[in-house]
Amino acid sequence: MRNFETGLDKKMNGRHKTKLGWNYIISLFLLGSVDMIEDGVASVEITTDSYEIVYTSLPVDIFPCEIEEGDMFYFLYANEVTEIRCGEPQE
Total count of domains within the chain: 1
Q: Tell me, yes or no, whether 1 lies in a domain.
A: no
Q: Would you state the pLDDT for residue 17?
A: 41
With left for phi above 0 and alpha for psi between -120 and 50, is residue 64 left, alpha or beta? alpha
For residue 55, what is the domain's CATH number? 2.40.50
Domain range spanning residue 34?
Answer: 7-86
Q: Tell me, yes or no, whether 79 lies in a domain.
A: yes
Q: What pTM did the predictor assign?
A: 0.66
Q: Give the residue, 73 or 90, on which the prediction is more confident.
A: 73
Q: Tell me, yes or no, whether 77 lies in a domain.
A: yes
Give the CA dihedral 36, 42, 48, 54, nearest 10 degrees. -70
Q: Tell me, yes or no, whether 68 lies in a domain.
A: yes
Taking only the tens place, the pLDDT of each residue in 24-47 is 444 457 899 999 999 999 999 999
